[in-house]
Amino acid sequence: MDSKSNINLDKLPKHIAVIMDGNGRWAKQKGMPRVFGHRNGVTAVREITEGAAEIGVKYLTLYAFSTENWSRPSFEVSALMRLLVETVRKELATLTKNNIRLQAIGDLSRLPDSSRKALLEGIEKTKNNTRMTLILALNYSARWEIMQAVKTVAQKVSDKELTPDQINEQVFEGALSTAGIPDPELLIRTSGETRISNFLLWQIAYSELYFTSVFWPEFRKEHLHKAIEDFQNRERRFGKTSEQL
């Protein structure tokens, strides 16, 4: 049976966030260099983007490079940056054909010029697409994002645009790089690691977390469907009792 048929399309998460992990271990297991894993990770990105869009998910956020990832060997960092340019350029036609809008969160100013240029071009060319928004988290760190938001709000207070008691969750959210994007209802991490690694700390306050041992390069539509099915079988209580729902 098609793994999609177990999904209730009326109860879909609007926003799914993914920590794509395990590229290096997948490659190592095959006796290949880590970069081979990253290259094969692109296939999974393509599959999951298509898979999410085709069932009707509206936002998909993929954690592609964390601020901490700069500490990796420089050749791995360069390979990842090149892969980014290559992938965005290659996939642009497919994104357009599939009516998918590309966006990015993170400190893009630190990316190499060529990577940033390819990315901004992709964002510009797909900005009017409406089927799904694909958000790449690049040089992203949730604590960095929160600090940026604090500075933005503080500046508004200092400019007398806001008083301290007017600061609320809505104001704060508006200063995050995810402003206007609903919080992810479902967060998936591949590769068996069960940590958040500085991803979307504010936005996942009430997300359902799903961990799978599948390495990212092997993650396919059926794995995505399974994660959604698992999500749909959970009771999201938001502090209430079961009886109140």
Enumerate the active-site residues. Answer: 21, 69
Nearest to ligand IPE by Cβ — which residue? 24
The verdict on 4 binding ligand IPE (CB under 6 A) reads: no
Q: Between 20 and 105, whose beta carbon lies closer to ligand IPE?
A: 20
Q: Between 21 and 185, whose beta carbon lies closer to Mg ion?
A: 21
Between residue 111 and residue 170, which ones bind ligand IPE under the rule CB under 6 A?
A: none
214 touches 225 (CB < 8 A)? no
Q: Between 20 and 57, whose beta carbon lies closer to ligand IPE?
A: 20
**Residues 6 or more apart from 174 whose CB is under 8 A from it?**
none
Q: Is 11 exposed, middle or buried (0-12, 13-18, 19+ CB in 10 A)?
A: exposed
Q: Which of 104, 89, 111, 6 is nearest to 42 (CA)?
A: 89
The verdict on 21 binding Mg ion (CB under 5 A) reads: yes
Binding mask 179-218 for ligand IPE (x = CB under 6 A): ------------x-x-x-x------------------x--
The verdict on 21 binding ligand IPE (CB under 6 A) reads: yes
Helix runs in 18-168, H state only:
23-29, 34-55, 74-97, 113-125, 142-158
Between residue 66 and residue 85, which ones bind ligand IPE under the rule CB under 6 A?
A: 66, 69, 80
Nearest to Mg ion by Cβ — which residue? 21
185 touches 61 (CB < 8 A)? no
Q: Between 66 and 126, whose beta carbon lies closer to ligand IPE?
A: 66
191 touches 21 (CB < 8 A)? yes
The H or E element containing residue 188 is strand 186-189
Q: Candidates 65, 210, 219, 231: give the one binding ligand IPE (CB under 6 A).
A: 65
224 touches 30 (CB < 8 A)? no
Q: Which of 55, 72, 71 is nearest to 229 (CA)?
A: 55
Query: Which of these ranges, 18-26, 37-45, 86-94, 136-144, lies near Mg ion under the rule CB under 5 A?
Result: 18-26
Tokens describing residue 173: 């959210």
The verdict on 24 binding ligand IPE (CB under 6 A) reads: yes
In whole angstroms, the minimum distance from the beta carbon of 66 to ligand IPE comes to 4
The footprint of ligand IPE (CB under 6 A) covers 19-25, 63-66, 69, 80, 191, 193, 195, 197, 216
The footprint of Mg ion (CB under 5 A) covers 21
